[in-house]
Amino acid sequence: MSEFDLTLRNARVVNADGERDADIGVAGGKIAAVAPGLPPGRTDIDAAGRYVMPGGIDAHCHIEQLSSMGVMCADDWYTATVSAAFGGTTTVMPFAAQHRGDSLRRVTEQYLASAAQKAVIDYSPHLILSETDAVTLGEDLPALVRQGLTSFKVYMTYDRLKLDDTQLLDVFAVAAREGALAMVHAENHDVIAWIARHLLDAGHTAPKFHAVSHAPAAEIEAAHRAIQLASVCDAPVLIVHVSTPGAIAAIASAQALGAPVLGETCPQYLLLTAGDLDLPGVEGAKYCCSPPPRDADAQEALWRALAGGVLGIVSSDHAPYSFDAGGKIPQGEATTFKQIANGLPGIELRLPLLWSEGVRKGRITAQQFVALTAANPAKTYGMYPRKGVIQPGADADLVVWDTDRNARVTHEQLHDATNYTPYEGREVTGWPATVINRGRIVVANGELKVLRGSGSLIPRDKPAPALQRREPGAQASFMRSIFSLKPKGQPT
């Protein structure tokens, strides 16, 4: 009897730090061996002529989540994870979202229960914080971090989600104390609201004015401010969905000073522009996300930041709302740019688009592709080396790539529950052929091979060592002394 449950033979194995020709032997859901000439497994896949890479980790996506505007995602845990799997993703990291008045602990318990029933691949949610009360920050958040949900997102905009600077400091202080990672949606709410008010007063309501109202300055200022506020508490911070050269510069400057600051971007900022919103009627709403797509110069700056390591993660920010009155355009043709549900679907296309536009066009290497989509998310969010690498002992999350497959993107070929894709008609070269999660063949020959609810929750360690608190300088030492103070009357 074979020592391997599964063998991938004759593969070109690509990791973030190198590539080589080898076979991969899988046993008990783990990678047991990576070497030439392994014996056939009980299931044997000949990967001759194909790249085999770690399964993708989508570190920022919205699944079965109610938005702050009261709109439910079109995708539940089942449809979203099926779509992710067909796109080569084997672990998703969506959000257990606390809205005002919600118990963070209760929201998270309900979210994980739904995932256990429906997800077909692995999952490890972040949290979303909209409350900074004593129970949320003093009890629920620390308890959930210790259970392995070691990252959370906060917003600097949106009426029902935004935190002010004092609240952000409270949150960053908990992150520093608990060893958690704060993810920040960095846009200046007042700037956006001020521009939007003047646009609406002048009768400018079309979707294209969404991009006008979300001025680059709103993102740049908020990114700077978030980084500086986090530094007060010596807390690691990750600026999500970066879209502007100015925000890139803020992150790069902080990194040059040794600050624990990371950045992420998404395919929509690499491939779309604000011009895509300028369509008749409300068609431009299909391209509305926050921040909005920018211009060709911003795209090139983002590609350079990915290649240079300033931005370390490419996520989908999958936010699937149906293009109808129940989703993206709540008032139908009368929907103004301020009423459009923000976000784009893209969980299935993240990896094919990045491969086609990045690797095929020479903007990034195959090793950088693995780093941006698997290894860096695993390291950043405390899953490495269980995830994000092909080596003995890691989970057998593997994707066999058909790098020569040409496809024209259509919504009909995708597996999410929305009724459109913003990438309709785009030519893509390179597509996952076989997708394996913990040794299970999830997708092969264009068919789903696993059952609803067969994915697993992945508890996480604390953020990567590079994001842990630095050696204490004067500011850090001062803040730590404040954190250690006892309330008046308590024994020291």
User: Is residue 1 pLDDT above 80, yes or no?
Assistant: no
User: Is residue 473 pLDDT above 60, yes or no?
Assistant: no
Q: In which band, very low, low, confident or very high, does the pLDDT at 67 lie, cut at 50, 70 and 90? A: confident
Q: Is the dihedral of CA 179, 180, 185, 191 positive or negative?
A: negative
Q: What is the pLDDT of residue 462?
A: 84
Q: When comparing pLDDT for 476 and 320, which is higher? A: 320
Alpha-carbon distance of 355 to 347, in angstroms, equals 14
User: Is residue 470 pLDDT above 90, yes or no?
Assistant: no
Class of domain 1-492: alpha beta
Task: Report, as an integer, the average pLDDT of 388-400.
Answer: 98
Q: What is the mean pLDDT of the chain?
A: 94
User: Is residue 431 pLDDT above 60, yes or no?
Assistant: yes
- Relative to beta strand 122-123, strand 89-92 is parallel
For 88, phi and psi rounded to 5 degrees? Answer: 95, 10
Alpha-carbon distance of 23 to 113, in angstroms, equals 37
Q: In which band, very low, low, confident or very high, does the pLDDT at 472 lie, cut at 50, 70 and 90? A: very low
User: Is residue 491 pLDDT above 60, yes or no?
Assistant: no
Task: Report, as an integer, the average pLDDT of 396-416.
Answer: 97
Angle 334-336-341 (CA atoms, 0-180°, nearest 5)? 105
Task: Report, as an integer, the average pLDDT of 191-195.
Answer: 98
Q: Helices 296-308 and 245-256: crossing angle, nearest 10°?
A: 20
pLDDT tens digit sequence for 139-164: 999 999 999 999 999 999 999 999 99
pLDDT tens digit sequence for 329-385: 999 999 999 999 999 999 999 999 999 999 999 999 999 999 999 999 999 999 999
Residue 303 has a CB neighbour count (10 Å cut-off) of 18
User: Is residue 480 pLDDT above 60, yes or no?
Assistant: no
Q: What is the pLDDT of residue 66?
A: 86
Alpha-carbon distance of 43 to 24, in angstroms, equals 12
Alpha-carbon distance of 155 to 133, in angstroms, equals 16
Q: When comparing pLDDT for 120 and 471, which is higher? A: 120
Q: What is the pLDDT of residue 486?
A: 44
What is the pTM assigned to this prediction?
Answer: 0.95
Q: What is the pLDDT of residue 163?
A: 98
User: Is residue 478 pLDDT above 90, yes or no?
Assistant: no
Task: Report, as an integer, the average pLDDT of 58-62.
Answer: 98
> 108 near 77, Cβ under 8 Å?
no
Q: What is the pLDDT of residue 485?
A: 47
pLDDT tens digit sequence for 232-272: 999 999 999 999 999 999 999 999 999 999 999 999 999 99
Q: What is the pLDDT of residue 474?
A: 45
